[in-house]
Structure 1
């Protein structure tokens, strides 16, 4: 019987072990999509206790706690940090089989050097040892990033953001903390407050955002602003209605309809979002930015808890839209306009992996290896089975060797061992192919492939 989470955790054969320990283990991290707060990084905060850094803003853990019968007071409520921590320790033994069980133990091991099993019996020891470390300068936010050998991370930022903290970090921190352009508020014309948002954008840019031409001019100015701070990529969250063809006059009519407080049909919403996406893609091509499309999240489903806690608090789930036709039509519209930019396609529903991966193949143009690719297993899919399925799909209908690798998509400064989790799964996948005679035991090629997927491909792809 193997020891729990030993040095060869998830590595099931000798080839996998060699690939991980000689090629993957020491690679730095480029985390190109997360939701960390640049202000917290600039201020180099020290967390007061393990509960705040472990459980604060982590809706993955919140969902698990609710499912295990923990009351909201000990999740997002007014219970003390110790009470919330004790509740989490009580949940952990019930999480065997959930990736959180592995991730949380990796976090304890990699940041704090503790091999202790997380359970109620060990809660006092973990609380005391971790808090003693957290209350030292060596465990400030910046040093937490240094411990994981993070070289670059990209936050997720609204077009209205002044990027003040990114500017300060640029001159003050050796780890690159770069913005990523997230214009979702411009796409979602049906949302309450849309016109107010356009008003803020107009005030900031001096453009008439009530007109289609003025809105495009305003977005260009904000992209220029982001580019000045080193932005290299964008991100867009899409539901199942994101493309239908429309000309410029039709888009202006839809804006006018919105200003007249008239509802838009599903078809009209597709037209509007499609036009914005095609326009944005043309600007990304000019700037050399990568475009990310995150498709298939069904958000804020519990209206009572949304009213109480707001978004991103653990009440989202996987959607099941039919996206193949819209996606290929959207990419074709981009191609006919200014070309498809560097593009990474994600789905929260793993049934769509082949849809995304084969759509990517339709629009490769030979200008860049892996220019359009299936993105990493995301959110509910970033567990062992989901990662293996994503790797298999990309290998089978694309080029795994050109994959830009893992991201955390996280709000937690303790989330970076997820890169290790992914790297172990990757090495085991490749090692198994070699051991089964499905790939040659060419160590030079294999180790190069591992290093590329772990880090080097992303550096080249995003031009960092």
Structure 2
């Protein structure tokens, strides 16, 4: 019987072990999509305690605690940090076969050298030991980043953000490159016309451009896009239920925008046309600057209206949606490709039923100009676990070139999440190891090792040009 989470965790053959330890393990990390707060990086803070570092903002853990019958006061409520951690520790034994069980113990090992299996019985001991380390310079936020050998982090930032914290990082220096990513979802959210109008006013104010027409709005947003580029941005990101690719004319969008600015209701067709126009213009700007554009597709967000009203978004009430993806996605990419304005693109799906769809869609628009120009992104959100990542890797292998994949990302709000890259690499090495052991691939460890290093780091470094 193998020991839990030993040095050969998830590596089921001698070949897989060699591939991981000799080739993947020491590769640096490029985390090209996450939700880490740049102000905390800029100030290089120390967390108050393990709860502060581990449970604040982590809706993965919050969902598990709620499912285990933990009252909300211990999740997002007013209980003390020590009591919240106790409730989390009591929940952990019940997360067997959930990726949280693996992630929790990987993070305890990699950051704090704690090999114990967390439970309610040893919660205080582990909490105190980790909290003491978190007070030291080595365990400041930048210390944690350095400990994980992270070279690049892309945060997720709204077009109206000042980027003052990124500017401070650029002035002061940091242990890794910290770059913003342009996330303009609110700029096209015409589902709520009054809220969009409030947002448009903010765009006008921060850009210094009065917005009375759709052309004015584009100028103001382009001003922000340029501003992000001037502050080191090379990546955009969109979190959408699905791609919007309705046909429209400039006159139609101008008229729709006038209705929005007059706080008039718009029809569903007008909503689709407006969103489609916005996506196209964002994509044109990304291509113009040589950015990489990312589309995270398929989340059904904020399902629990009562808890949304109480706690707000991004607090653990989202799920996989079953949106139609193929036809609009094909139409959108084809429109951009038709005028040679398709930027390097990464597509992520949240519904695993869309794996084959995405893996074949990228092949339609890989034109030979760049290796892996259009990417099928790694398992995302509910799919960034052993089964989800394995299925994504196998699907990409079957229908595309896994060797050109740009690897893993954390998509996390926690500075303790970087071992997810290790988790991905172990799964990757195990897949290749199994194929070699089974005679399905040649026993060319040097070449396969190079491919693994490329997927782990080199491809992303080249693709994003860092």
The yes-or-no answer on 1:380 pairing with 2:378 is no
Alignment correspondent of 1:359: 361
Task: Measure, in 1, the Cα distance between the counterparts of 2:71 and 2:33.
Answer: 31
Task: Measure, in 2, the Cα distance between the counterparts of 1:240 and 1:366.
Answer: 27
In the TM superposition, residue 260 of structure 1 has moved relative to its aligned partner by 3.1
Cα distance, 1:338–1:218 mapped onto 2, change above 3 Å: farther
In the TM superposition, residue 131 of structure 1 has moved relative to its aligned partner by 1.5
Alignment correspondent of 1:324: 326
Alignment correspondent of 1:200: 202
Question: Is contact 1:198-1:210 (8 Å) kept?
Answer: no
Task: Measure, in 2, the Cα distance between the counterparts of 1:210 and 1:432.
Answer: 61
Question: Is contact 2:142-2:175 (8 Å) kept?
Answer: no
Alignment correspondent of 2:452: 450
- Give secondary structure in 2 for the equivalent of 1:121: coil
Task: Measure, in 1, the Cα distance between the counterparts of 2:131 and 2:305.
Answer: 36
Task: Measure, in 2, the Cα distance between the counterparts of 1:80 and 1:454.
Answer: 39
Question: Is contact 1:199-1:209 (8 Å) kept?
Answer: yes
- Give secondary structure in 1 for the equivalent of 2:226: helix
The yes-or-no answer on 1:270 pairing with 2:272 is yes
**Counterparts of residues 222-237 of structure 1 (less than 5 Å):** 222-237=224-239
**How many residues align structurally?**
464
Alignment correspondent of 2:398: 396
In the TM superposition, residue 241 of structure 1 has moved relative to its aligned partner by 6.0
* 1:264-301, Cα deviation, whole Å (9 max, x unpaired): 33332221111111111111111110000001111111
* 1:23-47, Cα deviation, whole Å (9 max, x unpaired): 1111111000000111101111111
* 1:37-68, Cα deviation, whole Å (9 max, x unpaired): 11101111111111111111100000000000
In the TM superposition, residue 413 of structure 1 has moved relative to its aligned partner by 0.7
Q: CA RMSD in A?
A: 1.2
Cα distance, 1:357–1:210 mapped onto 2, change above 3 Å: farther
**Counterparts of residues 48-127 of structure 1 (less than 5 Å):** 48-127=48-127
The yes-or-no answer on 1:146 pairing with 2:146 is yes
Question: Is contact 2:304-2:317 (8 Å) kept?
Answer: yes
Task: Measure, in 2, the Cα distance between the counterparts of 1:202 and 1:171.
Answer: 28
Cα distance, 1:128–1:204 mapped onto 2, change above 3 Å: closer
Question: Is contact 1:34-1:153 (8 Å) kept?
Answer: yes
Task: Measure, in 2, the Cα distance between the counterparts of 1:387 and 1:398.
Answer: 16
How high is the TM-score relative to the length of structure 1? 0.98
Counterpart pick for 1:248 among 247, 250, 260 = 250
Alignment correspondent of 2:177: 176
The yes-or-no answer on 1:42 pairing with 2:42 is yes
Alignment correspondent of 1:23: 23
- Give secondary structure in 2 for the equivalent of 1:182: coil
In the TM superposition, residue 122 of structure 1 has moved relative to its aligned partner by 1.4
In the TM superposition, residue 355 of structure 1 has moved relative to its aligned partner by 1.3
The yes-or-no answer on 1:185 pairing with 2:217 is no
Task: Measure, in 2, the Cα distance between the counterparts of 1:180 and 1:241.
Answer: 19
The yes-or-no answer on 1:163 pairing with 2:189 is no
Task: Measure, in 2, the Cα distance between the counterparts of 1:439 and 1:30.
Answer: 28
- Give secondary structure in 2 for the equivalent of 1:120: coil
In the TM superposition, residue 187 of structure 1 has moved relative to its aligned partner by 1.7
In the TM superposition, residue 240 of structure 1 has moved relative to its aligned partner by 3.4
The yes-or-no answer on 1:302 pairing with 2:304 is yes
- Give secondary structure in 2 for the equivalent of 1:193: helix
In the TM superposition, residue 193 of structure 1 has moved relative to its aligned partner by 0.9
Q: Which runs of 5+ in 2 are unaligned?
A: none
In the TM superposition, residue 145 of structure 1 has moved relative to its aligned partner by 0.6
In the TM superposition, residue 312 of structure 1 has moved relative to its aligned partner by 0.5
In the TM superposition, residue 331 of structure 1 has moved relative to its aligned partner by 0.8
Task: Measure, in 2, the Cα distance between the counterparts of 1:20 and 1:86.
Answer: 35
Question: Is contact 1:245-1:271 (8 Å) kept?
Answer: yes
Alignment correspondent of 1:435: 437
Q: Which runs of 5+ in 1 are unaligned?
A: none
Question: Is contact 1:33-1:156 (8 Å) kept?
Answer: yes
Cα distance, 1:136–1:390 mapped onto 2, change above 3 Å: same
In the TM superposition, residue 366 of structure 1 has moved relative to its aligned partner by 0.9
Alignment correspondent of 1:13: 13
- Give secondary structure in 1 for the equivalent of 2:159: coil
In the TM superposition, residue 262 of structure 1 has moved relative to its aligned partner by 3.0
Which stretch of the first structure deviates more once superposed, 91-100 or 337-346?
Answer: 337-346
Question: Is contact 1:34-1:155 (8 Å) kept?
Answer: yes
Cα distance, 1:249–1:337 mapped onto 2, change above 3 Å: farther
Task: Measure, in 1, the Cα distance between the counterparts of 2:222 and 2:322.
Answer: 33
Task: Measure, in 2, the Cα distance between the counterparts of 1:426 and 1:280.
Answer: 34
In the TM superposition, residue 431 of structure 1 has moved relative to its aligned partner by 0.9
In the TM superposition, residue 259 of structure 1 has moved relative to its aligned partner by 2.4
**Counterparts of residues 393-432 of structure 1 (less than 5 Å):** 393-432=395-434
